């Protein structure tokens, strides 16, 4: 078992070293997906989308600034944020999948487009570019829908005022919208974040 763990560590280290070398000068941008791995606790491993304000949220570390920073800088911040939960600073690896418009080569836009960010329990987290005037229901459908673990009665729409930078959070009942019980769909704005929380037990 120890030999297997050693081999796993070497493989992860080599992959991370190659990735880090290739991305050492890259500055992380909103919409990028960060693949974060904590060697000492694999249950923390996950892919996280960088929000429009450049922030990410990671368990036990809280909010971390990632926008305009390098991979090594984000790794250092995560390591520092997680240190209090380990006997010694953990080994953290960060890989970056730069944001690419999934519809750039297949969609012919008929008008102005906006960027909508999907995070949480959705099938395809990240940034989706949709036409101006797209509603919440339409955007969720285009993005691939929510996962089976989604708390669809309390989806959060987070909208930041471009002038004051104050964020407003609106709780939406996606199930009621989808079933027609609520007929007023919400038109999305550029930079909107749709956060789908995980369903609680018996919810």
- Convert the pLDDT of each residue in 144-176 to its tens digit: 788 888 888 899 999 988 888 888 999 988 888
Give domain limits for the chain.
2-97, 113-196
Q: Please tell me whether residue 55 adopts helix, strand or coil conformation.
A: strand
Q: For residue 123, what pLDDT is reported? A: 83
Bridge partners (DSSP) of residue 118 are 126, 194
d(CA 21, CA 9): 18
Average pLDDT over residues 64-83: 91
Whether residue 25 has pLDDT greater than 80: no
In percent, the amount of the chain with pLDDT more than 90 equals: 22
User: Mean pLDDT: which of 17-21, 76-80, 108-112 is highest?
Assistant: 76-80
Q: In terms of pLDDT, which residue wins out, 79 or 102?
A: 79
DSSP per-residue letters across 151-163 = -TTSEEEEEE-TT
Q: Could you confirm whether domain 113-196 is CATH 3.30.200.20?
A: no
Question: For helices 71-82 and 2-23, what crossing angle results, to 10°?
Answer: 140
Q: Where are the beta strands (DSSP E) in 50-104?
A: 55-58, 62-65, 92-97
Strands 55-58 and 62-65: antiparallel
Strands 155-160 and 193-196: antiparallel
pLDDT grade, residue 188 (50/70/90)? very high
Average pLDDT, the chain: 80
In percent, the amount of the chain with pLDDT more than 70 equals: 79
Q: For residue 137, what pLDDT is reported? A: 84
DSSP per-residue letters across 101-133 = -TTTTT---SS-EEEEEEEESBSS-EEEEEETT
Whether residue 93 has pLDDT greater than 50: yes
d(CA 126, CA 136): 15
- pTM of this prediction exceeds 0.75: no
Q: 2-97: what CATH class? A: alpha beta
Bridge partners (DSSP) of residue 13 are none
Q: For residue 116, what pLDDT is reported? A: 92
| Cβ proximity of 152 and 200 under 8 Å | no
d(CA 25, CA 118): 27
Instruction: Give the CA distances from residue 132 to residues 165, 170, 174, 189, in Å, rounded to whole numbers and listed in that order.
Output: 21, 20, 20, 8
Q: For residue 102, what pLDDT is reported? A: 52
Q: How many angstroms from the chain centroid is the CA of residue 46? A: 10
Q: In terms of pLDDT, which residue wins out, 80 or 48?
A: 80
pLDDT grade, residue 68 (50/70/90)? confident
Q: For residue 82, what pLDDT is reported? A: 94
């Amino acid at each position: 078992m120890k030999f297997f763990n050693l081999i796993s560590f070497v493989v992860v280290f080599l992959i991370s070293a190659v990735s880090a070398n290739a991305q050492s000068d890259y500055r992380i941008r909103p919409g990028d997906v960060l693949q974060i791995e904590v060697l000492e606790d694999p249950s923390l491993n996950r892919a996280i989308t960088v929000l429009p304000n450049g922030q990410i949220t990671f368990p036990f570390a809280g909010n971390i600034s990632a926008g305009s920073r390098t991979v090594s800088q984000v790794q250092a911040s995560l390591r520092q944020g997680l240190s209090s939960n380990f006997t010694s600073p953990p080994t953290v690896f960060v890989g970056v999948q730069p944001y690419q418009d999934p519809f750039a080569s297949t969609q012919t836009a008929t008008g102005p487009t906006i960027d909508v960010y999907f995070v949480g329990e959705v099938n395809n987290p990240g940034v989706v570019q949709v036409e101006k005037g797209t509603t919440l229901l339409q955007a969720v459908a285009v993005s691939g829908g929510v996962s089976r673990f989604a708390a669809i009665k309390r989806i959060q729409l987070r909208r930041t005022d471009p002038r004051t930078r104050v964020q407003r959070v609106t709780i939406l009942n996606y199930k009621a919208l989808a079933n027609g019980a609520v007929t007023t769909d919400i038109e999305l704005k550029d930079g909107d974040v749709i956060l789908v929380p995980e369903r609680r037990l018996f919810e």
